[in-house]
Amino acid sequence: MADPWTSERQAGIAPPDLWDPLVRISHWGIAFIVVMNALFTKGGSPLHLWLGWIGMALLLLRLVWGVLGPVEARFSAFPPSPRAALSHLRGLVSGRAPQYRSHNPAGALMVYAFWVTLAVVIGTGLLRTGGQTPMQAARDAAAVASGDWSVLVTETDGGGESRFGTLPGEVHTVAANLLLILAALHVAGVAVESRAMRRNLVAPMLTGSKRRRG
């Protein structure tokens, strides 16, 4: 018989059974976009720009939600603290890591690293394209295709390199690869944490079907 008494939720120190839909949608949307753009779409192609811009919108929405969202989605629930992260990792090794209301401190660092790197990738991508939306890029491409080369002239950067030279493009590619490395660490971290805490961390990011019984 399971101990009928235990429920950390009552004390407010258990992670959510199910993340709110906005966290879930933005997570899987961003994960899909990062994998697609870093590995499968051609850099600078219309699809690449569309996905990149959608990723930017999802990131913006998630950041706003970090202030306005429910408690466990707010930045204040998972402050970046390398010291807490280290002590959490030590706790994991010795099997005595506590529960947290939101991301654990090590996971929280990972989350901020993701967001910063993603912002760098998107920012350099925008620099690289002169801030053109995919629609504008398509319009210009159509104009060029129909023989109107003037759009190329009005572009100060001449369609090739931006005003900052090749730097944004290089930073963009490096940061994109960094995202992939982070993602690998992230998935490994989720697996380790799930094992150590004997709790499925992925289910609450999906449908939360593994509901804990009271």
Partner 1 sequence: MKVPFLKPGSQRRRPVAVATFLVVQTLAAVFFVGDALGELLSDADGTHSSFEMLVAVALITGMIFGGMELRRTLERMRTQEAALAVASGALADVIRAQFANWGLTGAEQDVAFLGLKGLDVAEIAEIRGSAQGTVRAQLTKVYAKAGVSNRAQFAALFVEDLLGASLVEPVAKAG
Q: Where are the alpha helices (DSSP H) in 40-133?
A: 46-68, 82-94, 105-128
The mark string for 142-181 relative to ligand HEM (x by CB under 6 A, - otherwise) is ---------------------------x--xx--x--x--
Contact 40, 68 (CB under 8 A): no
Phi then psi for 162, rounded to 5 degrees?
Answer: -80, 180
Enclosing H/E stretch for 32: helix 21-35
Percentages helix, strand, coil for the chain (3-state, rounded to 5) are 65, 0, 35
Q: Which stretch binds partner 1 (CB under 8 A): 38-46, 96-104, 126-134, 171-179?
A: 126-134
Determine the residue type at 137: A
Residues 97 and 162 sit within 8 Å (Cβ to Cβ) = no
Residues 3-62 that bind partner 1 (CB under 8 A): 4-5, 7, 9-10, 18, 20-22, 25-26, 29, 53-54, 56-58, 60-61
| Binding of residue 68 to partner 1 (CB under 8 A) | yes
**Minimum CB–partner distance for residue 97 and ligand HEM (Å):** 13
Which residues of this chain interact with ligand HEM, rule CB under 6 A?
15, 23, 26-27, 30-31, 33-35, 37-38, 42-44, 48-49, 52-53, 55-56, 62, 103, 107, 111, 114, 121-122, 125-126, 128-129, 169, 172-173, 176, 179, 183, 186-187, 190, 201-202, 205
